[in-house]
Structure 1
Amino acid sequence: MKGKQIPYKMLSLDAFSQWLGIEILECEIGRCKLGMTIRKEMLNSMNYAHGGVSYALADTAFGFAANTHGKYAVSIETSINHIEALEEGDYLVAESVIEKVNNKLGFNVVEVKRGEELVALFKGVVYRTQKEWKND
């Protein structure tokens, strides 16, 4: 299995991403764009979205894009910069693009946007295993 089929399979098995309301907007080998809306139960004590929400969206986009090559890819290091506060009702789009891939490692950058505004910037490194995604 290769390409955009893998993120759809991953999402179908990912209860947390489903709870977040993540939807796949676009996907191809090496790139994945996801969207979701901030809900009331995602707000922190200051009435802004908890930082873990945008992190989870970016991390999911990162994981989906990294696996589109057909082999299991697992996160080994990630980081995020939160640039803007997010509020209930905000619709976020995270786009993950593989910047570099070699035999064992993949390096991704994920931009999280509210409309055209950059609200978070995520970077991640994956370890690319030899285990292949199967059609089952």
Structure 2
Amino acid sequence: MQGEKIPHKMLSLDPFSQWLGIEILECEIGRCRLGMTVKKQMLNSMGKAHGGISYALADTAFGFAANTHGKYAVSIETSINHIEALDEGDYLIAVSVIEKVKNKLGFNIVEVKRDNELVALFKGIVYRTQKDWE
């Protein structure tokens, strides 16, 4: 399967990302750009988006980009820095870029932005299996 098509297949098999309303804006080998809108049911007790929302968007972008090389890639370590609070109605864009790919490991950085403002920074490492996407 061509690498840029893999994220579309992954999204079609991912009910959680579909429930979040994540949409693929752009994908190519080693890079994926996703978008979503913060909904009321995603808010915490302080009226701000739960931290898991930006994390889930970034994690999805991370996974999609990591798999564009054609092999199943699974997360082994991730972290996120929440930089700005998010409100209902905010439209978020996550861009995942593979910074380095070794034989078995891939290193990703994901920036989550609201307009041009960086609101979260996610870092992740994937293990690249030998199983091909079909």
TM-score band w.r.t. shorter chain? over 0.9
Q: Partner of 1:27: helix, strand, or coil?
A: strand
Aligned partner of residue 69 in structure 2, secondary structure: coil
Aligned-partner Cα distance in 1 for 2:25–2:110: 14
Which residue of structure 1 lines up, in the alignment, with residue 84 of structure 2? 84
1:102 corresponds to which residue? 102
Whole-angstrom distance in 1 between the partners of 2:13 and 2:87: 28
Equivalent AA in structure 2 for residue 125 of structure 1? I
Amino acid corresponding to residue 96 of structure 1 in structure 2:
S
Residue 118 of structure 1 corresponds to 118
- CA drift of 1:2 comes to 2.5
C-alpha distance in structure 2 between counterparts of 1:83 and 1:2, whole Å: 35
Q: 1:4: Cα distance to partner?
A: 1.3
Match of 1:51 in 2: 51
In 2, Cα distance between the equivalents of 1:4 and 1:40?
32
Q: TM-score, normalised by structure 2?
A: 0.99
The residue aligned with 1:18 is: 18
In the TM superposition, 1:59-78 aligns within 5 A as 59-78=59-78
Aligned residues: 134
CA distance in 1 between partners of 2:74 and 2:68 (Å): 12
- One-letter identity of the residue aligned with 1:52: G
| Rounded Cα–Cα distance in structure 2 between residues aligned with 1:27 and 1:15 | 20
Q: 1:130 is matched with which residue?
A: 130
Deviations 1:2-49 (A, max 9, x none): 321100000000000000000000000000000000000000000000
Q: What is the alpha-carbon root mean square deviation over aligned residues?
A: 0.3
Alpha-carbon distance in structure 2 between the residues aligned to 1:42 and 1:105? 32
Query: C-alpha separation between the residues in 1 aligned to 2:94 and 2:127?
Result: 21
- Stretches of structure 2 lacking an aligned partner (at least 5 in a row): none
TM-score (norm 1): 0.98
Q: Can you give the 5+ residue segments of structure 1 that lack an aligned partner in the other structure? A: none
